[in-house]
Each structure stands twice: as structure tokens, then as C-alpha cells.
């Protein structure tokens, strides 16, 4: 099956020599083809070119006059398996309580963990499926999904089995991340190291045995898990073949970035508290600094120093962090806008941060994240838009018209 998209106003983020990710000044070096065509054969990108070159034969043709084609967003950090919402805490936040104060009162992650315990796999699957469909409609083609609201062996496995089923059924590319160390559960209060023992000795072996996760995560931050806890958990996870991708430096200069780099984490995420020492550690690594501006926006926290990081030569990725507590949205177009407005990223840098760099942060940049021959055909066609800069500029509405995943129109 050959699908041709012709008369494309501009084809965005094309690569003739694909790279794993883009860092520093390279992030703004985004290639495009104006007045272009794109040929998809089965599930792959077969070729592309300018409308002044001969059009290839196809079984089906889409006329994209006035519209642009982008690689789908890759959302490398989400927590979309949950039951119920947390707008009561949202009101507490408006009244002035901090995220940590809410968590200390048993709200936050522990609140969602209670509901997780009650929920069936079918309910969780149904809710997460709807979230995935909504994300897809906004141009996302690949999603990393974390556990972390179970906080017991049984409930963590329940979450991961739901992710496994979504992986099998969804047209989106799904990766699973085991986040048993998201918070210390209520029944382990005051016995944090025993909970870490449980993760290391029981949860990780079971997750590995059932092949339920690609990655392992720890919320390494003030009031949650320490650097030593993180060291133990990542060491055990790596031994079982799980690749580290962790939450770090959201609430403090916690040492999370450095411990992530030490364990060759694929990404360290959040990074609101990043100074010179953290940048230095990252510069000598292949770890992707991943920023989550939706969470900083929603809990009204200082933003990560994205500009400083890019100017220092680092790559930066941006994901949604879709979760009920700190970012109840998986709209990556909004993340693009936040990147430009709050991080002062140029539109090209923000597009790179949400496509090829997030693809790297979920280990799929060899097949996703850009328009390149031989990559998987995960692209979206926009509504008619004047320029690609219009994508972050016009915030709040959906500018995606058609989504194509694995070569199939959705």
C-alpha cells in the first residue's frame, strides 16, 4: 500500500542523515522542505521531495494544500494509568498549599494510590485508552507510561499489565516504566528503607519475570526517595535489564541528576533545580535532560533553566508528564507553546525537544521523531496554517487535522 501526501505547504523536521538527538545550537537547526510530497509505503516513510520533482505513483493520495506535515510528537513521560481526578487538591493549591504540603497530608500520589487499589484492570484500561485517543488527536504518536500509583507489588503489577495491554492494542507506540519508588506507601510510613527492600527484592524481579517494563524510575527528591535509595533501586533494576529514566531535581538540588548520570539513565526528568554542577554532569553523559513545563505551570513552581542548558550545549527534551496531580493534560501542542513562552525556546528548538529528543528519551529515535527514509510513518497533517511557528504561537486550540500512525490514517 502506497500513500502519497502531495502539495504539502511545508514538511517539517526532515533528516537525510538521521541523528539520535540534537544538542545545543543544533536544536534550532531544523530542516524542512517547502511545497513537498511525502510517500508512505505500508508502515514506513519511503521517500519525500519537492513538488517540482516527479511525483511517485501511489494507491491513495491526500492533497494537503495549505497544510503542513510534522513527525508525530513523542511524549516520553506520562502517568496516564489512574482512576479519578484530584481537583479538590487543585483548590487547596489555589488557597496556597504547596505540592509537598498536600503530599504530607496524605493527598497527592497517596490519594491516587487509594483509588488505584480499588480499581479493576478493565476500568483502568478504559480510562487510559480514552486519554491515549485524546493525545493521539492532538498529534502524539508515541507514549511512555509509568506505573507508580500501586505502591504494592500486586497493584504495581496491575498497572503494568494494563500498560502491556495498551501496548498490544493501541496504534501508538507505548513504552512501560516501572515506578514503584514514586512515594512511600502509608503502610510503610517511617520504614522507607524496608519499602526500598520490597522494591529491590520482590517488585523488580517480578516485573522482569513477566517482562512488564522497559524502564525503571525513581522519584529522587526531597521528601521522597534519597540518592542512596535511588542508587540501590537503579543498580537492581539495571541488573534485571531495565533502563533507568528518573524523576530528579524537581523540588531541590537533590543529587538526582548526578545519580541518574552515574547509572547511565536514558533521561532525567523535571530538573527545575538545575545549577552549574548538574549541567556539568549532564554534559559528560548521553542522558537526555527532559523538562516538563506543564507540571511547573500547573503547580506554579519555578521553571527549569532551559535556555541556560541549551546555551551550555546540552540537548533538551520536553514531555507532558500527564498525571492527575501536576499536569492533567497530555496536549503536546500546549507543551510546545510553554517551551517557547516560559523557556524562551525558539519554535525550532521546541519542535526538536518534543519530537527527536523525546524519541531518544524513550529509546525509539532510530524509528520515530523525524521525517526520514525508512522511519516508521507516524506523522500528522495540520489544519491550514500560515507558518510552522504558528504551532506554538496559536496556543489552546487543536491544529492537528489528520493523524497517520504506522502508515494508517487514524
Binding site for ligand NIG (CB under 6 A): 79, 108-109, 112, 219, 247, 250, 295, 321, 323-326
Residue 10 binds: one of Fe ion, ligand NIG, none (C-beta under 5 to 8 A by kind):
none
The binding track of 269-308 with respect to Fe ion, each residue x by CB under 5 A or -, is: ----------------------------------------
At its nearest, how many Å lie between ligand NIG and the CB of residue 47?
40
Nearer to Fe ion, 224 or 380 (CB): 224
Report the C-alpha gap between 266 and 217 in whole angstroms. Answer: 11
Nearer to ligand NIG, 138 or 247 (CB): 247
Nearer to ligand NIG, 230 or 323 (CB): 323
Q: Is 374 exposed, middle or buried (0-12, 13-18, 19+ CB in 10 A)?
A: exposed
At its nearest, how many Å lie between ligand NIG and the CB of residue 161?
20
The dihedral region occupied by 406, where left means phi > 0, alpha psi between -120 and 50, and beta the remainder, is: left
Report the C-alpha gap between 183 and 189 in whole angstroms. Answer: 10
At its nearest, how many Å lie between ligand NIG and the CB of residue 401?
31
What's the chain's Rg over C-alpha atoms? 21
| Binding-residue total with Fe ion (CB under 5 A) | 1
At its nearest, how many Å lie between Fe ion and the CB of residue 179?
8
Q: Which stretch binds Fe ion (CB under 5 A): 44-52, 121-129, 283-291, 315-323?
A: 315-323
At its nearest, how many Å lie between ligand NIG and the CB of residue 137?
23
At its nearest, how many Å lie between Fe ion and the CB of residue 335?
13
Give the number of residues written for the chain.
410
Instruction: State which residue has the least CB distance to ligand NIG.
Output: 325
Q: Which residue of 10, 214, 321, 349 would you call a contact of Fe ion, by CB under 5 A?
A: 321
Instruction: State which residue has the least CB distance to Fe ion.
Output: 321
Residue 218 has phi, psi (to 5 degrees) of -140, 140
- Other CB atoms within 10 Å distance of the CB of residue 177: 27
Nearer to ligand NIG, 45 or 102 (CB): 102
Residue 108 binds: one of ligand NIG, Fe ion, none (C-beta under 5 to 8 A by kind):
ligand NIG
At its nearest, how many Å lie between Fe ion and the CB of residue 247?
5
Nearer to ligand NIG, 81 or 391 (CB): 81
Nearer to Fe ion, 224 or 343 (CB): 224
Nearer to ligand NIG, 13 or 323 (CB): 323
Q: Site residues (CB under 5 A) for Fe ion?
A: 321
Amino acid at each position: 500500500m502506497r500513500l502519497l501526501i502531495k502539495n504539502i505547504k511545508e514538511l517539517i523536521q526532515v533528516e537525510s542523515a538521521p541523528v539520535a538527538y540534537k544538542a545545543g545550537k543544533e536544536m534550532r537547526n531544523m530542516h524542512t522542505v517547502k511545497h513537498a510530497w511525502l510517500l508512505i509505503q505500508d508502515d514506513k516513510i519511503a521517500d519525500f521531495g519537492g513538488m517540482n520533482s516527479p511525483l511517485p505513483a501511489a494507491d491513495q493520495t491526500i492533497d494537503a494544500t495549505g497544510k503542513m506535515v510534522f513527525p508525530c510528537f513523542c511524549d516520553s513521560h506520562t502517568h496516564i494509568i489512574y482512576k479519578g481526578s484530584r481537583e479538590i487538591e487543585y483548590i487547596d493549591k489555589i488557597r496556597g498549599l504547596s505540592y509537598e504540603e498536600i503530599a504530607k497530608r496524605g493527598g497527592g500520589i497517596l490519594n491516587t494510590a487509594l483509588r488505584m487499589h480499588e480499581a479493576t484492570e478493565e476500568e483502568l484500561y478504559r480510562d487510559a485508552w480514552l486519554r491515549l485517543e485524546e493525545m493521539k488527536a492532538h498529534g502524539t504518536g508515541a507514549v511512555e507510561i509509568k506505573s507508580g500509583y500501586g505502591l504494592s507489588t500486586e497493584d504495581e503489577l496491575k498497572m503494568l499489565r494494563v500498560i502491556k495491554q495498551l501496548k498490544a492494542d493501541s496504534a501508538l507506540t507505548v513504552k512501560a516504566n516501572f515506578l514503584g519508588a514514586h512515594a512511600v506507601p502509608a503502610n510503610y510510613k517511617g520504614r522507607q528503607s524496608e519499602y526500598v527492600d520490597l522494591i529491590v527484592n520482590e517488585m523488580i524481579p517480578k516485573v522482569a519475570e513477566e517482562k512488564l517494563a522497559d524502564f525503571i524510575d525513581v522519584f529522587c527528591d526531597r521528601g521522597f526517595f534519597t540518592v542512596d535509595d535511588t542508587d540501590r533501586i537503579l543498580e537492581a533494576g539495571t541488573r534485571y535489564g531495565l533502563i533507568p529514566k528518573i524523576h530528579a531535581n524537581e523540588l531541590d538540588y537533590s543529587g538526582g541528576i548526578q545519580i541518574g548520570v552515574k547509572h547511565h539513565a536514558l533521561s532525567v526528568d523535571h530538573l527545575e533545580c538545575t545549577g552549574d554542577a548538574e549541567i556539568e554532569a549532564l554534559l559528560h553523559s548521553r542522558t537526555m535532560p527532559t523538562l516538563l513545563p506543564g507540571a511547573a505551570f500547573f503547580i506554579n513552581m519555578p521553571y527549569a533553566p532551559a535556555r541556560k542548558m541549551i546555551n551550555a550545549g546540552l540537548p533538551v527534551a520536553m514531555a507532558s508528564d500527564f498525571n492527575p496531580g501536576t499536569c492533567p493534560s497530555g496536549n503536546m501542542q500546549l507543551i510546545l507553546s510553554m517551551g517557547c513562552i516560559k523557556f524562551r525556546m525558539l519554535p525550532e528548538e521546541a519542535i526538536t525537544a518534543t519530537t527527536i529528543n523525546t524519541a531518544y528519551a524513550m529509546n525509539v529515535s532510530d524509528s520515530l521523531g523525524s521525517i526520514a527514509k525508512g522511519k516508521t510513518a507516524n506523522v500528522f497533517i495540520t489544519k491550514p496554517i500560515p507558518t510552522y511557528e504558528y504551532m506554538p504561537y496559536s496556543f489552546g486550540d487543536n491544529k492537528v487535522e489528520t493523524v497517520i500512525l504506522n502508515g494508517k490514517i487514524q
